[in-house]
Structure 1
């Protein structure tokens, strides 16, 4: 699915002049995909070959950079970055060819975008009467996990339906939603959709081969990062094809399960905890 391009308008008004400014973002579904400091981050990764160094150069924390990179890779049709571990030069992060291509594309669009804003500002008349028509409402999603996929199965009932998405990693994500929502979203087999899951709704299991549970979604992956704090921490799983799953669990659970980076574990998600969205 190709991303849409959105320009978020802002104005600086005085008695004699209205100045126009805007930020440019690529969006996929309801989620900001590429733009602003995320593009800066990708460019710095290409220059530095290190996520931590790139984050500092782009003026953001390592955690913000890590989370932003996971969102970009989850929403991209192909991974934008690849992590390198070990070797004589140590670990690092570099852009894929797809990553370099999309950064170049964004900068081309940005140049045209700035030219459009300049022409718009020149043609403005009495802008104050029309400003409300150009303002737009935007929604920011707090869910850590956003996956793009294709609807491969819909099982309908009178009040609720089961929707199965095929993710690019090869895994499937099952959601139970109201049948009214299926109709309102226009869901059908073969259409593109998004699955959103809060990190707090993701459970982690390490003895998953013998585990008997009712949860529909059991996705295996390798732990790439564990962030601990006084009470709760985050566990990030690489599930393939550049996709990751983030789980928020207690520090005591991390210790009791003996979780370590490099372990293969299973992310367990109830189908009722999955939100489906479309573009």
Structure 2
């Protein structure tokens, strides 16, 4: 009987969508080949919107953007995979090759020597649309709570209020990397400086990169710098009242208690 060939996958998901996985890596490779998001999406089997969501999610989780765009291009909007993106592709393909060897070894030898097998198929699902890799810059502790300040881009910091016990469990310290998660429905938008901010709230300024209208809600993508995109979902009537259009400067406002932190 031929040995069964196994396939091992490792993915990080948000709202049921893969942030980094085989299909997203194939999309980046298609961008390298074609230099156009429109063409890359078509070749990789993505809709144009799904392709944009995929590369923006990857950018938010990397220290530097994996993907950038330029004006123009004969075959649609010109696109480019950065050096950081190429490193991601290379690292992913090396890991995939190693996992393939492990899969073949399992198929040939059985599971007796693979007690940690479940770890190879670990998939983390989160409900927060915004997931940013940040650097911890400060921690203020009291007997119960910890106020953690994280740098998400050169121009913006995020404050998170978590329990002191959670901060200790996550081993948070200045200089350590962490992922900050914020649900898009928790984010309010306002013109810069027009809304008074209460204690314990975040205020991040950025430029509207895109607005997508649904029947009841609008999805606003806010470029907050360093290739990071913050997403807010607001009632369409509120977005219409603010007359939100691409290129507008807005502030994203959300409570520090609504930020969830994760570390490896």
TM-score by length of structure 2 reads 0.86
1:51 counterpart residue number:
37
Shift in Å, 1:160: 1.9
SS at match of 2:218: strand
Gaps of 5+ in 2: none
SS at match of 2:63: coil
1:134 counterpart residue number:
117
List aligned pairs for 1:1-279, cutoff 5 A: 19-25=5-11, 34-86=20-72, 91-124=77-110, 127=111, 134-136=117-119, 138-206=123-191, 208-214=192-198, 216-279=201-264
CA distance in 2, matches of 1:100, 1:148: 18
Shift in Å, 1:165: 0.6
Shift in Å, 1:133: 5.7
TM-score by length of structure 1 reads 0.82
1:228-269 Cα shifts (integer Å, max 9, x gaps) = 010012100111111110000111111100100111111111
Shift in Å, 1:152: 1.4
Shift in Å, 1:222: 0.8
Task: Kindly indicate whether the alpha-carbon contact (under 8 Å) linking 2:37 and 2:77 is maintained by their aligned counterparts in 1.
Answer: no
CA distance in 1, matches of 2:77, 2:4: 49
Task: Kindly indicate whether the alpha-carbon contact (under 8 Å) linking 2:36 and 2:75 is maintained by their aligned counterparts in 1.
Answer: no
1:140-182 Cα shifts (integer Å, max 9, x gaps) = 1121111111211111122222111122433110011112211
Across the two proteins, how many residue pairs are aligned to each other?
A: 258
Of residues 113-122 and 172-181 in structure 1, the stretch that sits farther from structure 2 once superposed is: 113-122
Task: Kindly indicate whether the alpha-carbon contact (under 8 Å) linking 1:217 and 1:269 is maintained by their aligned counterparts in 2.
Answer: yes
Gaps of 5+ in 1: 1-14
